[in-house]
Amino acid sequence: MSTSATSNATPQKRQEPKLPPSGVPFGHLPAFLPGSASLVEQLDRRIMVVLRDGRHLVGVLRSFDQFSNMVLEETSERRVLLVKKDKETICYYTDIQLGLYLVRGDSMVLLGEVETEDTNAGEEKEESIAEGTEEMTGSGLLGGSQMVEKKKKLMREVSLEELEKLEEENKKDAVEELTWEFDLDLVV
Protein backbone atom coordinates (compact mmCIF):
# COMPACT_ATOMS: atom_id res chain seq x y z
CA MET A 1 0.00 0.00 0.00
CA SER A 2 2.83 2.36 0.73
CA THR A 3 4.26 2.00 -2.78
CA SER A 4 1.02 2.99 -4.44
CA ALA A 5 0.55 5.92 -2.06
CA THR A 6 4.01 7.26 -2.82
CA SER A 7 3.52 7.00 -6.56
CA ASN A 8 0.29 9.00 -6.32
CA ALA A 9 1.91 11.65 -4.13
CA THR A 10 4.61 12.59 -6.65
CA PRO A 11 3.74 15.92 -8.20
CA GLN A 12 3.14 15.88 -11.92
CA LYS A 13 4.58 18.60 -14.12
CA ARG A 14 2.03 21.16 -15.14
CA GLN A 15 1.95 21.69 -18.89
CA GLU A 16 2.21 25.34 -19.92
CA PRO A 17 -0.19 26.38 -22.68
CA LYS A 18 1.54 26.86 -26.00
CA LEU A 19 1.89 30.44 -27.17
CA PRO A 20 1.37 31.47 -30.78
CA PRO A 21 4.44 32.70 -32.71
CA SER A 22 3.51 36.31 -31.91
CA GLY A 23 4.05 35.71 -28.19
CA VAL A 24 0.60 37.10 -27.33
CA PRO A 25 -1.61 34.51 -25.56
CA PHE A 26 -4.79 33.59 -27.39
CA GLY A 27 -7.65 35.89 -26.44
CA HIS A 28 -5.41 38.51 -24.80
CA LEU A 29 -4.55 41.76 -26.54
CA PRO A 30 -2.26 44.32 -24.96
CA ALA A 31 -3.50 47.88 -24.49
CA PHE A 32 -1.27 49.21 -27.28
CA LEU A 33 -0.07 47.44 -30.41
CA PRO A 34 2.61 49.30 -32.38
CA GLY A 35 2.43 49.89 -36.13
CA SER A 36 -0.01 48.10 -38.36
CA ALA A 37 -0.76 45.55 -35.61
CA SER A 38 -3.11 48.12 -34.08
CA LEU A 39 -5.50 47.48 -37.00
CA VAL A 40 -6.49 44.21 -35.32
CA GLU A 41 -9.06 46.15 -33.27
CA GLN A 42 -10.86 47.25 -36.46
CA LEU A 43 -11.15 43.76 -38.01
CA ASP A 44 -14.71 42.96 -39.14
CA ARG A 45 -15.82 46.54 -38.49
CA ARG A 46 -17.00 49.22 -40.91
CA ILE A 47 -14.26 51.79 -41.50
CA MET A 48 -13.63 54.85 -43.66
CA VAL A 49 -10.24 55.28 -45.30
CA VAL A 50 -9.07 58.57 -46.80
CA LEU A 51 -6.54 58.01 -49.58
CA ARG A 52 -3.70 60.25 -50.75
CA ASP A 53 -5.63 61.22 -53.88
CA GLY A 54 -8.53 62.50 -51.73
CA ARG A 55 -10.95 59.63 -52.24
CA HIS A 56 -12.97 58.33 -49.29
CA LEU A 57 -13.56 54.55 -49.14
CA VAL A 58 -16.05 52.97 -46.75
CA GLY A 59 -16.03 49.20 -46.19
CA VAL A 60 -15.65 46.31 -43.77
CA LEU A 61 -12.00 45.57 -42.89
CA ARG A 62 -11.39 41.85 -43.44
CA SER A 63 -7.61 41.53 -43.46
CA PHE A 64 -4.33 43.47 -43.32
CA ASP A 65 -0.60 42.78 -43.39
CA GLN A 66 2.57 44.24 -41.87
CA PHE A 67 2.63 47.04 -44.49
CA SER A 68 -0.95 48.12 -43.63
CA ASN A 69 -2.24 46.81 -46.97
CA MET A 70 -5.93 46.16 -46.33
CA VAL A 71 -8.74 44.11 -47.82
CA LEU A 72 -12.11 45.89 -47.61
CA GLU A 73 -15.37 44.06 -48.26
CA GLU A 74 -18.64 45.71 -49.38
CA THR A 75 -16.60 48.80 -50.24
CA SER A 76 -18.09 51.99 -51.59
CA GLU A 77 -16.53 55.29 -52.58
CA ARG A 78 -18.11 58.18 -50.69
CA ARG A 79 -18.36 61.44 -52.63
CA VAL A 80 -19.12 64.55 -50.60
CA LEU A 81 -20.42 67.95 -51.75
CA LEU A 82 -20.68 71.07 -49.58
CA VAL A 83 -23.27 73.61 -50.75
CA LYS A 84 -23.73 77.12 -49.35
CA LYS A 85 -27.37 78.13 -48.91
CA ASP A 86 -27.92 81.55 -47.38
CA LYS A 87 -25.83 81.57 -44.21
CA GLU A 88 -25.48 77.83 -43.67
CA THR A 89 -23.59 75.07 -45.44
CA ILE A 90 -25.36 71.82 -46.31
CA CYS A 91 -23.37 68.63 -46.83
CA TYR A 92 -24.59 66.06 -49.38
CA TYR A 93 -23.01 62.66 -49.99
CA THR A 94 -23.46 59.55 -52.10
CA ASP A 95 -21.90 56.09 -52.03
CA ILE A 96 -20.73 54.41 -55.24
CA GLN A 97 -20.53 50.62 -54.78
CA LEU A 98 -17.13 49.06 -55.58
CA GLY A 99 -17.29 45.60 -53.96
CA LEU A 100 -14.13 43.85 -52.70
CA TYR A 101 -11.23 46.31 -52.63
CA LEU A 102 -7.51 46.09 -51.89
CA VAL A 103 -5.93 49.26 -50.47
CA ARG A 104 -2.17 49.75 -50.42
CA GLY A 105 -0.92 50.84 -47.02
CA ASP A 106 1.27 53.63 -48.40
CA SER A 107 -1.71 55.31 -50.08
CA MET A 108 -3.69 55.59 -46.84
CA VAL A 109 -3.78 58.97 -45.06
CA LEU A 110 -6.50 58.50 -42.45
CA LEU A 111 -8.56 55.60 -41.11
CA GLY A 112 -11.52 55.63 -38.74
CA GLU A 113 -14.52 53.61 -37.71
CA VAL A 114 -17.96 54.62 -38.99
CA GLU A 115 -21.42 53.58 -37.91
CA THR A 116 -23.10 50.75 -39.75
CA GLU A 117 -25.89 51.97 -41.97
CA ASP A 118 -29.44 51.09 -40.99
CA THR A 119 -31.91 50.83 -43.88
CA ASN A 120 -35.00 51.49 -41.75
CA ALA A 121 -33.51 54.51 -40.03
CA GLY A 122 -32.68 56.13 -43.38
CA GLU A 123 -36.27 57.21 -44.01
CA GLU A 124 -36.56 58.79 -40.56
CA LYS A 125 -33.29 60.68 -41.00
CA GLU A 126 -34.41 62.20 -44.31
CA GLU A 127 -37.74 63.25 -42.77
CA SER A 128 -36.01 65.04 -39.90
CA ILE A 129 -33.89 66.96 -42.42
CA ALA A 130 -36.88 67.90 -44.56
CA GLU A 131 -38.81 69.16 -41.56
CA GLY A 132 -35.75 71.01 -40.26
CA THR A 133 -36.31 69.75 -36.74
CA GLU A 134 -33.91 71.21 -34.24
CA GLU A 135 -33.40 70.57 -30.58
CA MET A 136 -32.01 72.69 -27.82
CA THR A 137 -29.14 71.23 -25.82
CA GLY A 138 -27.28 72.53 -22.81
CA SER A 139 -23.55 72.18 -22.40
CA GLY A 140 -22.51 71.85 -18.78
CA LEU A 141 -18.89 72.90 -19.17
CA LEU A 142 -16.76 74.89 -16.74
CA GLY A 143 -18.09 78.27 -17.89
CA GLY A 144 -21.63 77.33 -17.00
CA SER A 145 -24.55 76.02 -18.95
CA GLN A 146 -25.57 77.68 -22.20
CA MET A 147 -28.39 76.72 -24.51
CA VAL A 148 -27.27 76.09 -28.09
CA GLU A 149 -29.12 75.02 -31.22
CA LYS A 150 -28.11 71.63 -32.52
CA LYS A 151 -29.11 70.07 -35.86
CA LYS A 152 -30.06 66.42 -35.70
CA LYS A 153 -28.46 65.51 -39.03
CA LEU A 154 -25.26 66.98 -40.45
CA MET A 155 -25.14 65.12 -43.79
CA ARG A 156 -27.82 64.14 -46.26
CA GLU A 157 -27.55 61.09 -48.50
CA VAL A 158 -28.57 61.56 -52.15
CA SER A 159 -28.29 59.47 -55.30
CA LEU A 160 -25.34 59.85 -57.68
CA GLU A 161 -27.52 61.61 -60.26
CA GLU A 162 -28.80 64.08 -57.66
CA LEU A 163 -25.25 64.78 -56.46
CA GLU A 164 -24.02 65.46 -60.01
CA LYS A 165 -27.02 67.75 -60.60
CA LEU A 166 -26.25 69.64 -57.36
CA GLU A 167 -22.59 69.97 -58.43
CA GLU A 168 -23.64 71.57 -61.74
CA GLU A 169 -26.14 73.93 -60.10
CA ASN A 170 -23.74 75.09 -57.41
CA LYS A 171 -20.43 75.40 -59.26
CA LYS A 172 -20.23 79.15 -58.75
CA ASP A 173 -21.45 79.07 -55.12
CA ALA A 174 -19.63 75.89 -54.10
CA VAL A 175 -17.44 75.89 -51.02
CA GLU A 176 -13.78 75.95 -51.99
CA GLU A 177 -12.16 72.56 -51.58
CA LEU A 178 -8.96 72.14 -49.67
CA THR A 179 -6.35 70.82 -52.09
CA TRP A 180 -3.49 69.16 -50.34
CA GLU A 181 -0.70 67.73 -52.45
CA PHE A 182 0.81 65.23 -50.03
CA ASP A 183 3.81 64.52 -52.27
CA LEU A 184 4.71 68.16 -52.91
CA ASP A 185 3.96 69.71 -49.51
CA LEU A 186 6.76 67.80 -47.82
CA VAL A 187 9.44 68.65 -50.41
CA VAL A 188 12.11 70.99 -49.05
Structure confidence at residue 59 (pLDDT): 95
Structure confidence at residue 61 (pLDDT): 92
What CA–CA distance (Å, rounded) separates 5 from 122?
A: 73
Structure confidence at residue 151 (pLDDT): 45
Structure confidence at residue 188 (pLDDT): 56
- Give the pLDDT mean for 79-101: 88
Residue 94's DSSP bridge partners are 79
- Give the pLDDT mean for 19-46: 69
Which is more confident, 14 or 95?
Answer: 95
Q: How are beta strands 155-157 and 88-103 bridged, if at all?
A: parallel
- The mean pLDDT value of the chain amounts to 73
Digit-coded pLDDT (tens) for 49-78:
999 999 999 999 998 888 889 999 999 999
Q: Where are the beta strands (DSSP E) in the chain?
A: 46-51, 56-64, 70-85, 88-103, 108-113, 134-141, 144-151, 155-157
Class (C level, CATH) for 28-134+147-172: mainly beta
Q: Is the pLDDT of residue 18 over 50?
A: yes
For the CA atoms of 63, 68, 72, 78, what is the dihedral angle to 10 degrees? 160
The three-class DSSP label of residue 113 is strand
For the CA atoms of 137, 142, 143, 149, what is the dihedral angle to 10 degrees? -10
Which is more confident, 97 or 184?
Answer: 97
Structure confidence at residue 60 (pLDDT): 93
Domain range summary for the chain, segments of one domain joined by +: 28-134+147-172
The three-class DSSP label of residue 128 is helix
What CA–CA distance (Å, rounded) separates 71 from 63?
A: 5
